[in-house]
Structures are given as C-alpha cells and as structure tokens.
Chains A and B, each alone.
Chain A
C-alpha cells in the first residue's frame, strides 16, 4: 500500500514539475529576452509584470482550431506533437533533484542506466519535430524536417561523447551516482565536455542560434508551419520542457547536481538553482547570437565539437587511469 502511494506521489511530483518548470522557463525567456533587448516584455496579463502571460497564451491556443492539411500524412501529422512532448516527461522521471531535507534523493525513479535512458528519451523528442516536418505535406516543412535530421545526426555524437566522459569519470551510468561522485576539480577537467554538451544540447533542441530547421525567415517555422492550436502549443511546451531537461542534465553531469553548502537538507534547491542558471544561459544564447547557416551548423558539429569531445574523452581516460 505505502509503496503504491510512494509511486503515485513521485509520479505526481514529476508531473507537477513537468507542467510548471517549462512555463517558468518560458516566462523567464519572455522577460529576460525583453530586457536584453531594452524592452519590458509582457506587462498586462495578470497585472504584475505580465506574470500570467503564458496562461493567457495557453487559453488562446486552446480556443484555436487545429487544422490538418489535406496533403498531410494524417496519422503522422497528428501524432507528432505527442512524440515531441512525452519523451521529455519520461526523461524527467529519471533526473534526480537531490536530497530533500535529509529524506534521501528526490527522484522519480533511480535507474542504473539513467544516463542512457535520459539521452535516449531526448533523442526521441527530436523525432517528433522530424515527423511533423515529413508528415505536413508542405515543402518548407519537408526542408525543415531534413535539417532536423541532419542536425540530429551531427550533434548526437558529440553529446553522447561528452556525457560518456562524465560517466567515465564517475564510474557509473546512474545519474544519482554521477552527481554523488562529483568533486569540484571536475569542473576544470570537464570544462570542454561541459561546453560540448551544452552546445550540442542547444542544437538538439533546435534552440537559436541552432534553429536552422525552424528558421522563420526562410522556412516559415519549418516543421511547425502547418500546426495550429493545441498541437502547436504542445510543440512549444516541448521546446521549453527540452530546455529544462537539458539544463537538469547539464547540472547533474557537469555541475555536480546538488553539490553545495547544506547539501543534505537543501540539495534539491541547489539543483533547481543550477537548472535555472543553465536555462538562463540557454535564453541568453538565443538573444546574443544570430542563427547559424545550415552549413555552419554542420561544420561546428564535425570540425569543432566532435574533436573536442574526443579530446575530452581521451583526457578523462588519462585522468581515470592515472
């Protein structure tokens, strides 16, 4: 009985985090991006500095009609938003938040292969965009879909290599184990890996400056062109959920998760704080940098990130053996 209750409780917490964290990141993006551009962003909805803007957006999306184009591959087209969104929920199950007032580690489910699990889930999420691109029956969406595919192929490798380096150093694939094994000097040794992981993650989420597949100016949002209403909202939510997952993973793998003063009591707060910090970097990158051209995207992956990741793996091997 109590075990069932425990599972239920964990599921609810994960679901709650899944429903709120992306919205918080989205609101942060609204405001931080606005101020970085010397604007103020939403101010009206909700009264105080537009805090309810995303709620209003959600209501608006819910009211809109969801149209399926006649030329679209119906099943694929309608399934795509779910394929984009659900994997991030699944990924969140396995991401630890850290000790909660001495109650053990707050996590949906501690898996021995947690790292593999989360990375795999993240890649499935990208498939949703790919499906949207190929199933829309629209040439711009198709082009966008091809770009998604190219980007997924290019950036999966450096991302996995960087993650592998962290796992090697910790000697485990369990995310809890990796964060527990963290020591501050890893920050220095793992710095290239951290950068590679973060940049590759950005590219995998198709966040600017790696949004060549969406490229609103040339491909009119690429795979998302034909979507409207709730389906489009799901894609948007998937984007922000992706940011949360990426930030959480970066935190756990490279920033020591809940490492910090009073980690036994406040570990979860440290993790959340670091997640917010990394999410802020994701937003900052969007504001500060222009979109990369398609060839530049691939050049960056194969000529910079892959060699860097390989060097990192080599370095980690040396450190571990020594």
Chain B
C-alpha cells in the first residue's frame, strides 16, 4: 500500500471540524444537575433497621473507616416457657468519608442489605471532622437512594424473587 502523504494532516482537520460542528459533550454542572445512574458511588446510605451489627462491613473495609458500637437487648419470650431472644441494637455507626475510598466493599459484603449507594455527591465540608457522618446522617441519605436499574429485557430476575413468587403461588393455590 502506498503511504499517503498528508493523510495525517487531513485527519487532524477532519476530526477537529467534526467536533466543532457537533454539540459539545460538556456537562454544565453547577447550572444543570448531572443525571447519574442508580448505584453511582456518591455517598453510602444506611438502612438502620436492616443492620444486625454483624461488623462484616467494618472488618472488610480496607481503609477502616467504619466504626460500629452496639449492645444486646433481650426480647422477652412471646409465649410462656419460651426462650428469651436477644437482638443487637446499634449505638453508633460512623463512616469517615475523609478516608473512604468508595471501593463499595462494605456494600457488597453486607448480608442484610443495610448499606446502599446514593448518587448524592455534594457533601463537601469546611472541616475534615465533619466528613464523619453518623448514624442519623447516614440514615437521611436513604431518602436519596433511587430504585435500582430496570432489568434487561429477558434477563433472569434473581433467585430470591423466584423463590418468593413460588411460595406465594403455592400458598394461594392451597
């Protein structure tokens, strides 16, 4: 093949001209809020009721930025002669966003779906200490968690839902 001289020159002009005549891709952030997909790693929200203080997230966090304190509460037996049950209650659940690296390991590892990603990202602070969000603040982020993305058409909907629908069908069928 012949080496075409000047091809690079032509290409440079063509690419830049194409960009010039098309709309730019710039996001006009402060004026226009960005449209972020669900599960964007903005801030971690805590569904407090789901948390069993199992400490898995705190232990798996590579940067050790989750602090959990809890105590046991006894739930008296519901029936006579039954066994008392105990339940962990959170006293403290802090995430220090000044060291969090948004790796999402805590969220993956939580067995009870107590942690969720919210796409909110504008929580900068003037003081480093204020970047530690406590239980209540983490709970408020829950309101900003969007519903998960819709499944692809024809995709499996997941084992849990399958099982749920099967039991419902058998119960109603009975």
Contact B19 A37 (CB under 8 A): yes
Q: Can you name the residue of chain B whose Cβ is closest to the Cβ of A287? A: B16
B-side contacts of A289, CB under 8 Å: 9, 12
Contact B20 A288 (CB under 8 A): no
Chain B contact residues (Cβ within 8 angstroms of A): what range?
A: 10 to 19
Assuming the A-B contacts A43-B28, A289-B9, are A35 and B15 also in contact, with contact meaning beta carbons closer than 8 angstroms in the complex?
Answer: no
B-side contacts of A40, CB under 8 Å: 24, 26, 28
* Total number of residue pairs linking A and B with CB closer than 8 Å: 32
B-side contacts of A35, CB under 8 Å: 19-20, 24
Q: Can you name the residue of chain A whose Cβ is closest to the Cβ of B11? A: A288
Partner of A288, one of B13, B26, B28: B13
Partner of A39, one of B9, B13, B17, B26: B26
B-side contacts of A39, CB under 8 Å: 24, 26
A-side contacts of B26, CB under 8 Å: 38-40
Interface residues of A in 2-40 (CB under 8 A from B): 32, 34-40
Could you tell me the distance in whole angstroms from the C-beta of A103 to the nearest C-beta in chain B?
A: 37
Assuming the A-B contacts A34-B24, A40-B24, are A288 and B12 also in contact, with contact meaning beta carbons closer than 8 angstroms in the complex?
Answer: yes
A-side contacts of B16, CB under 8 Å: 36-37, 284, 287-288
Interface residues of A in 39-74 (CB under 8 A from B): 39-40, 43
Q: Can you name the residue of chain B whose Cβ is closest to the Cβ of A281? A: B13
B-side contacts of A37, CB under 8 Å: 16, 19
Q: Is B25 an interface residue (CB 8 A)?
A: yes
Q: Is B22 an interface residue (CB 8 A)?
A: yes
Chain A contact residues (Cβ within 8 angstroms of B): what range?
A: 10 to 19
Could you tell me the distance in whole angstroms from the C-beta of A281 to the nearest C-beta in chain B?
A: 10
Could you tell me the distance in whole angstroms from the C-beta of A101 to the nearest C-beta in chain B?
A: 34
With A and B bound together, what is the CA distance between A288 and B15 in angstroms? 8
With A and B bound together, what is the CA distance between A284 and B17 in angstroms? 9
Interface residues of B in 24-47 (CB under 8 A from A): 24-26, 28
With A and B bound together, what is the CA distance between A32 and B26 in angstroms? 14
With A and B bound together, what is the CA distance between A162 and B170 in angstroms? 92
Could you tell me the distance in whole angstroms from the C-beta of B7 to the nearest C-beta in chain A?
A: 13
With A and B bound together, what is the CA distance between A289 and B20 in angstroms? 15
Contact B24 A38 (CB under 8 A): yes
Could you tell me the distance in whole angstroms from the C-beta of A318 to the nearest C-beta in chain B?
A: 27
Contact B22 A38 (CB under 8 A): yes
With A and B bound together, what is the CA distance between A35 and B15 in angstroms? 11
B-side contacts of A38, CB under 8 Å: 19, 22, 24-26
Q: Can you name the residue of chain A whose Cβ is closest to the Cβ of B30? A: A44
B-side contacts of A32, CB under 8 Å: 20
Q: Can you name the residue of chain B whose Cβ is closest to the Cβ of A209? A: B12
Q: Can you name the residue of chain A whose Cβ is closest to the Cβ of B10? A: A288
The contact string, 1 if C-beta is below 8 Å from chain B, for chain A 267-305, is 000000000000000001001110000000000000000
With A and B bound together, what is the CA distance between A39 and B26 in angstroms? 6
Q: Can you name the residue of chain B whose Cβ is closest to the Cβ of A33? A: B16
With A and B bound together, what is the CA distance between A182 and B13 in angstroms? 29
A-side contacts of B12, CB under 8 Å: 288-289
A-side contacts of B9, CB under 8 Å: 288-289
Partner of A36, one of B20, B25, B28: B20
B-side contacts of A288, CB under 8 Å: 9, 12-13, 15-16
Could you tell me the distance in whole angstroms from the C-beta of A236 to the nearest C-beta in chain B?
A: 23
25 contacts between A and B (CB under 8 A): A32-B20, A34-B24, A35-B19, A35-B20, A35-B24, A36-B16, A36-B17, A36-B19, A37-B16, A37-B19, A38-B19, A38-B24, A39-B24, A39-B26, A40-B24, A40-B26, A284-B13, A284-B16, A287-B16, A288-B9, A288-B13, A288-B15, A288-B16, A289-B9, A289-B12
Question: Assuming A34-B24, A284-B13, A288-B9, what are 13 further A-B pairs, CB within 8 angstroms?
Answer: A32-B20, A35-B20, A35-B24, A36-B16, A36-B17, A38-B19, A38-B24, A38-B25, A40-B26, A40-B28, A284-B16, A288-B15, A289-B12
